[in-house]
Amino acid sequence: MDRIRIVGGHALNGSIPISGAKNATLPLMIASLLTEDDLTLENVPDLADVALLKRILANHGVDYSVAGKRRGESVHAGETLTLRAKAIVDTTAPYDLVSRMRASFWVIGPLLARMHEARVSLPGGCAIGTRPVDFFLTGLEALGAEIDIDAGYVVARAPGGLRGGALRLPQPSVGATHTLMMAATLTRGDTLIENAAREPEVRDLAECLVKMGAMIEGAGTSTIQISGRDRLNGAVHEVLPDRIEAGTYAMAVAATGGDVLLQGARADLLTAALDALAGTGVEVTSTEGGVRIRRNGSGVDPVSVSTAPFPGFPTDLQAQFMALMTGARGTSEIRETIFENRFMHVQELARLGADIRLDGQVATIRGVSRLRGAPVMATDLRASVSLVIGGLAAEGETLVNRVYHLDRGFERLEGKLSACGAEIERLRA
Ligand code: UD1
């Protein structure tokens, strides 16, 4: 397995291009199941999760192609991916594929809407908590589906097709919102989703679905209304920039010091995290080209945060912010409210010399003057990048093991950081 070697203590200076958002790309790709026409997505990041979803969709009968480089384009501009679900030949999403990426469970919505049946493996346990699918199932039932669980599979049927319905999510789940919104676009009747997730990726998906002919109002707010259609058509859609990638690099610069322009990042998608960073004393400026993060020689002040659904502080930046707080001038508290077991990075950050006490869902972090490099183990996507941030700030060498977690969600991580002066390299297995 590949490892990443970092020699810490270098400031970051320069600019980092922000890729298309992983968490928008995945549902957008799944939306291709709703139409027999071409869906072309621009600015698609080159990530392991995207590659896996291509395989999963191909198993349902989706053809895909990637456009080659165009004149004047940089090699690293996002991919242009065209998906075509002319005929869906298989409505089963098997365990060996779904168990590797939870978001692939979301195919259940479009498959059921278009084919009136779907057999999708339960995603199974996950490193960051139990992550059940109950909201999806009751939501699909509200749209007229019959649901059975058989041998680890959700078997969903809607003889005669889904109909509209009204439902209220017990909690604003991103995945359930994506899935139910997609399903409701191809129904007979109107659907109302209350307490919907308000994440920018939900709005991005809705914008694409509207281009495909769907009728959706309110995406991006907690009440979404959808009027079902008989069929949807193809569309061309550009994926929005990855706010989590942008926030991650912002925290890396805050931790090491330096001056970096996060090219293409949108401050309006990242207000809570940028406010927290500004509170630590880091200079945050929103410019036309992106977001600029600057910290001179002085350290950072402690800031306490609590994760919350959008527009609150994102759980996907909790580990990275904790890595930053390990070097703060004082004590901070980080409360995780979305997932019950999302503190696996704590033990690994401790290996770098961090002083963190865990009490249920609250971590108390006492800033230390210097972290020291050590071998550490990545456990999930966001936790692993917090170890990279720790390593960049630490004295000496850090070896991050199990970096396949990073490859799921960060495009060219070592390239982007080393272009700004970091000493970081991948050691191939
Ligand atoms: C998405 C993101 C993930 C992010 C998370 C929260 C993608 C690909 N992933 O994950 O990066 O960390 O949102 O912002 O976009 N829940 C239930 N029952 C359900 C569904 C969810 O109890 O049926 C709970 C979950 O356990 C969790 C909460 O709802 O406590 C929110 O999870 P959810 O928003 O669904 O996360 P994902 O969509 O899986």
Q: What does each of the 429 residues of the chain score in pLDDT, given as a tens digit?
A: 899 999 999 999 999 999 999 999 999 999 999 999 999 999 999 999 999 999 999 999 999 999 988 888 776 678 999 999 999 999 999 999 999 899 999 999 999 999 999 999 998 654 545 568 999 999 999 999 999 999 999 999 999 999 999 999 999 999 999 999 999 999 999 999 999 999 999 999 999 999 999 999 999 999 999 999 999 999 999 999 999 999 999 999 999 999 999 999 999 999 999 999 999 999 999 999 999 999 987 899 999 999 999 999 999 999 999 999 999 999 999 999 999 888 999 999 999 999 999 999 999 999 999 999 999 998 888 889 999 999 999 999 999 998 888 989 999 999 999 999 999 999 998
Q: Which of 131, 316, 384 to mutate to test the pocket of ligand 1 (most atoms within 8 A of CB)?
A: 131
Give the ligand 1 atom nearest the CA of 131. 26
How much is the pLDDT for 393?
A: 97
How much is the pLDDT for 123?
A: 86
- Strands 362-366 and 331-335 turn out to be antiparallel
C-beta of 168 in contact with ligand 1 (< 6 A): no
Q: What is the DSSP letter of 306?
A: E
Burial of 296 (0-12, 13-18, 19+ CB in 10 A): exposed
How much is the pLDDT for 381?
A: 83
Residues belonging to the chain: 429
Contact 194, 223 (CB under 8 A): yes
Q: Which of 133, 154, 338 to mutate to test the pocket of ligand 1 (most atoms within 8 A of CB)?
A: 338
b/e per residue, 88-117, with b = 16+ CB within 10 A?
beebbbebebbbbbbbbbbbbbbbbbbbbb
Contact 394, 405 (CB under 8 A): no
Q: How far is the CA of 131 from the centre of ligand 1 (A)?
A: 7
Cα distance between residue 333 and residue 365, in whole Å: 6
Q: Shortest CA distance to 376 belongs to which of 359, 389, 361?
A: 389
Could you tell me which residues come within 8 angstroms of residue 184 by beta carbon, excluding any fewer than 6 positions away? Answer: 113, 143, 162, 164, 191, 193, 226, 228
Give the ligand 1 atom nearest the CA of 199. 14
Please, where are the H alpha helices in 289-412?
318-325, 345-351, 381-393, 404-409
